[in-house]
Amino acid sequence: MGKKGYYKGLVLREFYFSDTLSCADISERIGKSLPLTMKILNELIAEGYVRESGFAPSSGGRRPVMYSIVPDTIYILSVAMDQLVTRITLMDIHNEHVTEIERFELPLFNNPDVVKVLAEKMNEVIEKSGVARRKVIGAGIGMPGFIDFNKGINYSYAIPDGQTLTEYLSEKLDMPVYLDNDSSLIALAEFRFGAARHKRNAMVINIGWGIGLGMVINGELFRGHDGFAGEFSHMPMFNNNKLCECGKTGCLETEASLLVVVEKAAEGVKQGRLSNLGPQFPSGHFEQDCEAVIRAATMGDQFAIELLSEAGYNIGRGVAILIHLVNPELVILSGRGALAGRVWQAPIQQALNKHCIPRLAANTTVEISTLGYQAELIGSAALVMENMVKERKKQASRLPEKWSA
């Protein structure tokens, strides 16, 4: 990719994260002169990718012209995976779904067909969308596990022999594919579009089948030395002799994950606990059963509230440790579990009151994500836009040839 193509990629990336911008805004963000920035904008306008979108609100002087990306020119394939369920969708430049979200069960553990099935489903979504493949600039994937973002490797789950996961999928889809940990991408979505936007230090808790963590530190997404930072779920916090999937015992997720909540709900119903969950619970499908528990809790079911409150208190104990270590401005509860909304806040705050030094927690707020269960899909798309202008030695660029001049 030549310098001109690189600069155009930078400009389009800034539009993605900010929607409308003036020439001066873009010049400042990409660190290039106003004349060069205007030249790039004019070329993008001539090529049909950018358009004028009116004038900025008046501030007393001459109002600058504002620009934005033309709809129907750039699309991103977004994939959000957890241990049991995969969601795939095609998104436009405004993070709107072009297709219905393809949602299906795809267990990751001890499943050698994961990558093959994933490639087939991703191709199907593009074909069903009716969008020309040349307009899809790349695919972003969020997965649980120990992921080396730079190498495209997930060390926790099987990948094709001799290839990285991203190499295999790039070959099957004929486009760049980027991979990152699901909790890191949820944090990226919150940082770029959600509650952590413009925040310097924020902790994003991914409440799901495990308890993930994404960290924004000093205004940047923090992944750690090898990309493995944020394994919040596996903090050893209990002497419960419960074996975790990581092979250790007493991890946070053994008492606080949504899988544990569903299991406790099933046991309670079996023992005759009074609840609106009903005798048909559990259904045998964890996703459906999880949604049933959360729905019951938000409708006031005392048993469901009790279960989520117990999990929330234990999450709060873990958050107290984070506050002591990092002193964040904000803690965001995101991911699948965010659907339970305010049910989480009281027990988590109770744990903070009990386990935090008041001075350390005084200026840390706890909020429920407004992106919720969509956060990982948004983060997967943002991952592509953040990396669309970086040279990838083993991935073919999908940018139009005329950008590479």
Parallel/antiparallel/unpaired status of strands 85-92 and 102-105 = antiparallel
CATH number at residue 201: 3.30.420.40
Query: Is 236 among the domain residues?
Result: yes
Q: Are residues 204 and 263 in the same domain?
A: yes
Residue 190 lies in a domain: no
Task: Going from the first residue of the chain to its last (405 residues), give the mean pLDDT of each consecutive group of 10, the final group possibly shorter.
Answer: 74 90 92 92 93 78 87 94 94 92 90 91 95 94 89 76 85 94 95 93 94 94 86 92 88 94 94 88 89 94 96 96 95 92 92 94 92 94 85 40 39
Check whether residue 336 and residue 267 sit in a common domain.
Answer: yes
Domain match, 326 and 387 both: no
Tokens of 125: 């979504």
- Nearest-Å Rg of the Cα atoms of the chain is 22
For residue 385, being part of any structural domain is answered with yes
Is 191 a domain residue? no
Q: Are residues 156 and 224 in the same domain?
A: no
How far apart are alpha carbons 36 and 23 in whole angstroms?
Answer: 10
178 and 233 in one domain?
no
The pLDDT score that the predictor gives to residue 156 is 81
Looking at residue 65, the DSSP 8-state letter turns out to be: E
Does residue 363 sit in the same domain as residue 393?
A: no
Total domain count, the chain? 3
* The predicted structure's pLDDT at residue 154: 85
Is the domain of 329 the same as that of 215? yes
Query: SS3 of 267, please?
Result: helix
* Continuous H helices in 32-72: 34-46
Residue where a domain stops, chosen among 69, 86, 119: 69
Measured CA to CA in angstroms, residue 122 lies from 129, 168, 315, 324, 356 at distances of 11, 13, 34, 42, 45
Per-residue pLDDT, 303: 96
Same domain, 157 and 227: no
Q: Say how far apart CA 88 and CA 140 lie, in whole Å.
A: 10
pTM: 0.89
- Is the domain of 316 the same as that of 176? no
Long-range contacts (CB closer than 8 Å, 24 or more residues apart) made by 291-299: 291/339, 293/261, 293/262, 293/265, 294/337, 294/339, 294/340, 297/340, 297/343, 298/339, 298/340, 298/341, 298/343
Is residue 111 domain-resident? yes
Domain assignment of residue 388, yes or no: yes
Last residue of a domain, one of 41, 69, 97: 69
Give the pLDDT of residue 382. Answer: 95
Alpha carbon distance 202, 218 (integer Å)? 9
Same domain for 340 and 205, yes or no, is yes
Residue 209 belongs to a domain: yes
Instruction: Note whether 238 and 360 are same-domain residues.
Output: yes
Query: At a CB cut-off of 8 Å and minimum separation 6, what does 3 contact?
Result: none
Please report, for the domain that includes residue 40, its CATH number.
1.10.10.10
The pairing of strands 75-81 and 85-92 is: antiparallel
Is residue 51 in some structural domain? yes
Single residue among 24, 53, 69 that ends a domain in this structure: 69
Q: Which domain holds residue 237?
A: 197-370
Integer Cα distance of 324 and 381 in angstroms: 33
Torsion of CA 144, 147, 152, 153, to 10 degrees: -90
Task: Give the bridge partners for 202, in sequence order.
Answer: 216, 330
The pLDDT of residue 359: 92
Q: What is the DSSP string of 190-227?
A: HHHHSTTTT-SSEEEEEESSSEEEEEEETTEEE--SSS
pLDDT given at position 292:
94
Regarding whether 80 and 65 lie in a shared domain, the answer is no
